[in-house]
């Protein structure tokens, strides 16, 4: 089955689907990433001092549950935190994500050699499997989201390093037997409130975001040509660009910068602290992730698919006339090419 990436990123067409994977069929959930996916690892590793909670919610970098919490509830799976495995043996998967993780081996924010970057999380997981002559659970869902910390805290102009790191992480997961992989691109980092403080250059961050998303799209497109893999893609670039159409009334300021109107856990802000989505935005991301999975589980008539145009991961943007559900489905699905 042939698949291809077109123009700005993840524009693919669909008439046939590869091996199907139903959301209900996953038996475990493995999470790799940074603060966007960390439900408490960095909090535990820093003696519950980072991130400060409150105002952050239970060790998460947000005002409430993250997308992985919401998606886990939808899938009926709750991965065990890597930092609690000794006391809570995993039965439904593991969350390896650490806040501050760079795309490579180390942490871009906290100077601690024991805190793994995204690639190191995946390499550690793969190394353990190989050491025990095992392969990855083919019925599990594996999620990968990283790269933003490289641009904010390491080198805002270097997109090749995070592209290479995340691409290697994806290929490593495939190499040890992962069959179902959920991968996220980056929102426009230059549009986040944090891009406008501490002498950061929003134009550079936006340019690097586009380069990263294009590079990631090429890797995902190549992997998607394997009919034995289910690569589910979530276009957070387009979701953030369409935030107003999805019901968010403040997309330019962080919730914490407007405590006069910010209502943690129940607000219409897109961004919580300058860098991270609010829990309301995480809910939308989780909905898009589930839509991506369901789009491959249940084929839609080709006449309804058309051409997806989804930012740097999918094409140029979701049409304003789309309602919330169609925007989520569009942002979350990869469609096969004839």
Specify if 15 maps to a domain. Answer: no
Q: Which of 3-12, 38-47, 327-336 has the lowest mean pLDDT?
A: 3-12
Per-residue pLDDT, 317: 34
Determine the Cα–Cα distance for residues 7 and 316; give it in Å rounded to an integer. 9
- pLDDT, tens digit, 9 for 90 and up, residues 201-258: 999 999 999 999 999 999 999 999 999 999 999 999 999 999 999 999 999 999 999 9
3-state SS record for 128-171: HHHHCCCCCCCCCEEEEECCHHHHHHHCCCCCHHHHHHHHHHHH
Asked if the structure places residue 137 within a domain, the reply is yes
What are the tokens at 153?
Answer: 């805290």
pLDDT of residue 114: 93
What is the rounded CA–CA span in Å between residue 85 and residue 69? Answer: 18
The helix/strand/coil state of 325 is helix
Give CA torsion, residues 251, 254, 258, 261, to 10 deg.
50
Helix (H) or strand (E) holding 324: helix 324-332
Q: Is the pLDDT of residue 306 over 50?
A: no
The overall average pLDDT reported for the chain is 85
Residues shown for the chain: 338
pLDDT at 155: 96
| Encoded tokens for 277 | 């989505």
User: Which residues, at least 6 apart from 62, have a Cβ–Cβ distance to it below 8 Å?
Assistant: 56, 272, 276, 277, 278, 279, 282
Q: 5 lies in a domain? A: no
**For 89-138, how does the pLDDT look when each residue is reduced to its tens digit (9 = 90+)?**
999 999 999 999 999 999 999 989 999 999 999 999 999 999 999 999 99
Predicted pLDDT at 6:
28
Q: How far apart are CA 160 and CA 219, in angstroms?
A: 13
Q: Quote the number of domains for the chain.
A: 1
Q: How confident is the model at residue 301, as a pLDDT?
A: 36
Strand 80-81 with 94-95, pairing: parallel
CB count in 10 Å sphere of residue 325 = 10
The whole-number pLDDT of residue 311 equals 34
The pTM for the full model equals 0.84
CA distance 202 to 204: 5
Neighbours of 12 (CB within 10 A): 24
Residue 66 to residue 51: CA distance in whole angstroms: 14
Q: What is the DSSP letter of 61?
A: S
Tell me if 332 sits within 8 A of 292, measured CB to CB: yes
Contact indicator for 114, 163 with CB cutoff of 8 Å:
no
Which of 13, 18, 12, 2 lies closest to 296, judged by CA? 18
- Hey, is 29 helix, strand or coil? strand
- What residues make up the domain containing 295? 23-332
Contact 313, 6 (CB under 8 A): no
In three-state secondary structure terms, 230 is: strand
pLDDT digits (tens, 9 = 90+) for 77-90: 999 999 999 999 99
Q: How many CB atoms lie within 10 A of CB 88?
A: 10
* pLDDT(16) > 60: no
For residue 332, name the pLDDT band (cuts at 50, 70, 90): low
Residue 111 lies in a domain: yes
* 13 belongs to a structural domain: no
Would residue 217 count as lying in a domain? yes
Residue 17 inside a domain? The answer is: no
- CATH number of the domain to which 77 belongs: 3.40.50.1110
In a domain, 99, yes or no: yes
């Amino acid at each position: 089955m042939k698949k291809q990436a077109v123009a700005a990123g993840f524009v693919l067409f669909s008439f046939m689907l590869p091996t199907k994977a139903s959301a209900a069929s996953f038996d475990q959930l493995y999470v790799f990433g940074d603060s966007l996916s960390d439900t408490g690892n960095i909090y535990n590793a820093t003696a519950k001092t980072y991130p400060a909670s409150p105002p952050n919610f239970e060790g998460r970098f947000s005002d409430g549950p993250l997308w992985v919490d919401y998606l886990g509830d939808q899938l009926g799976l709750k991965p065990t935190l890597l930092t609690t495995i000794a006391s809570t043996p995993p039965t439904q998967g593991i969350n390896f994500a650490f806040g501050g993780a760079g795309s490579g081996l180390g942490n871009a924010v906290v100077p601690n050699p024991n805190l793994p970057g995204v690639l190191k999380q995946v390499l550690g997981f793969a190394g353990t499997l190989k050491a025990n002559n095992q392969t990855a659970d083919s019925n599990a869902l594996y999620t990968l989201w990283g790269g933003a910390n490289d641009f904010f805290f390491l080198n805002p102009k270097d997109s090749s390093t995070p592209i290479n790191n995340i691409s290697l992480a994806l290929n490593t997961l495939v190499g040890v037997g992962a069959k179902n992989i959920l991968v996220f691109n980056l929102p426009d980092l230059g549009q986040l409130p944090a891009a406008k403080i501490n002498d950061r250059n929003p134009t550079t961050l936006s340019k690097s975001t586009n380069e990263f998303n294009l590079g990631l799209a090429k890797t995902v497109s190549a992997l998607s040509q394997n009919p034995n893999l289910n690569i589910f893609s979530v276009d957070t670039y387009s979701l953030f660009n369409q935030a107003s159409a999805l019901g968010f009334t403040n997309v330019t300021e962080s919730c914490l910068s407007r405590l006069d109107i910010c209502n943690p856990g129940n607000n219409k802000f897109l961004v919580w602290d300058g860098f991270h989505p609010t829990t309301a935005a995480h809910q939308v991301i989780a909905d898009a992730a589930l839509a991506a999975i369901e789009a491959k589980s249940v084929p839609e008539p080709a006449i309804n698919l058309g051409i997806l145009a989804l930012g740097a991961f999918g094409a140029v943007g979701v049409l304003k006339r789309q309602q919330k559900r169609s925007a989520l489905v569009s942002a979350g699905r990869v469609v096969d090419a004839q």
